[in-house]
Amino acid sequence: MELLSGELEVEKHVKYILSVEKNKDSFESVTMEHLRMNGAYWGLTTLDLLDKLEIVDQDEVISWVMQCQHESGGFAGNIDHDPHILYTLSAVQVLALFNKLDVLDIDRLSDYICGLQNEDGSFSGDIWGEVDTRFSYIAICCLSLLHRLDKINTEKAVEYIVSCQNLDGGFGCTPGGESHAGQIFCCVGALAITGSLYHIDKDLLGWWLCERQLVQSGGMNGRPEKLPDVCYSWWVLSSLILIDRVHWIDKAKLARFILGCQDKENGGISDRPDDAVDVFHTYFGVAGLSLLEYPGLKAIDPAYALPVDVINKIFFGRK
């Protein structure tokens, strides 16, 4: 790729992420209070991809993460909030970044996740019962990282995900739900982790996904007729890589789009050029560039959304 490594403002992005964390009274921090566990995962994974994770106090982070765990085994978005599978995956991912999965009571945590599987193989997000293929991905990703996939009915879990496949090759949140790139990532990621990608028509899905790249900007949208958005770089690219069709898009043009969404002055990445930056789009921008093999970034695993060295330690006990 004809890209210069100096174009990604590494130092400024590190500074920006640290500033969001420090400035707890800012508008951004207050609106994110209830999903701080997700924010911690986005920020810390970004730092790790930039090879700057050592600047954070890992004992402080781990102690806070563990204070967010409930008796049920699930994690909340912050201390004194309710547990949800959405925050539970982020908690597991944060501990994985620090190679600290051993602090977990794996049986209690995996019992919590298994308890959210329904008769038809689908998953609810918490005890209130909303069903969504996002929760299938989260359950499967979590249990796989904990080496406990055998504790759920994976056959039925896969069958449910396959039932959410549409005639356009994409996937929705429930059977018949409209195809959406975020949902496609969840379904393709879950099928990849369980070794079930043979259920997918890769050419059909690959076609739908590469049509998400907009000719003018080079950015990706999440479904037809929508504006491009940096976070869709991740949902679309990771899915294309998992089905081996990433060569169908213009990678250099997408990298240009992401780099053009940086705040070159104060750091951070936004959804589109000149919008306000946030930690979410900073993470997905950097993760997208990592998938595009941008120079100087650690490689990220497209199914687990964690650095490849972290995944290798978990599954092969090596760096």
Q: Which residues bind ligand 3PZ (CB under 6 A)?
A: 32, 35, 38, 229, 231, 271, 278-280
* Identity of the residue, 60 or 225, whose beta carbon is nearer to Zn ion in the bound complex: 225
- Chain positions 212 to 241 lying near Zn ion, rule: CB under 5 A, are 229, 231
* Identity of the residue, 206 or 228, whose beta carbon is nearer to ligand 3PZ in the bound complex: 228
* Identity of the residue, 180 or 251, whose beta carbon is nearer to ligand 3PZ in the bound complex: 180
Report how far Cα 144 is from the mean position of its chain's Cα atoms.
Answer: 15
* Identity of the residue, 35 or 91, whose beta carbon is nearer to ligand 3PZ in the bound complex: 35
Instruction: Report in angstroms how near the CB of residue 148 gets to ligand 3PZ at its nearest.
Output: 23
- Chain positions 250 to 289 lying near Zn ion, rule: CB under 5 A, are 271
| Binding partner of residue 278 among ligand 3PZ, Zn ion, none, CB cut-off 5 to 8 Å per kind | ligand 3PZ
Residue nearest to Zn ion (CB): 231
| Binding partner of residue 188 among ligand 3PZ, Zn ion, none, CB cut-off 5 to 8 Å per kind | none
| Binding partner of residue 48 among Zn ion, ligand 3PZ, none, CB cut-off 5 to 8 Å per kind | none
* Identity of the residue, 9 or 278, whose beta carbon is nearer to Zn ion in the bound complex: 278
Instruction: Report in angstroms how near the CB of residue 68 gets to Zn ion at its nearest.
Output: 25
* Identity of the residue, 229 or 263, whose beta carbon is nearer to ligand 3PZ in the bound complex: 229
Instruction: Report in angstroms how near the CB of residue 167 gets to ligand 3PZ at its nearest.
Output: 25
Instruction: Report in angstroms how near the CB of residue 229 gets to Zn ion at its nearest.
Output: 4
Binding site for Zn ion (CB under 5 A): 229, 231, 271
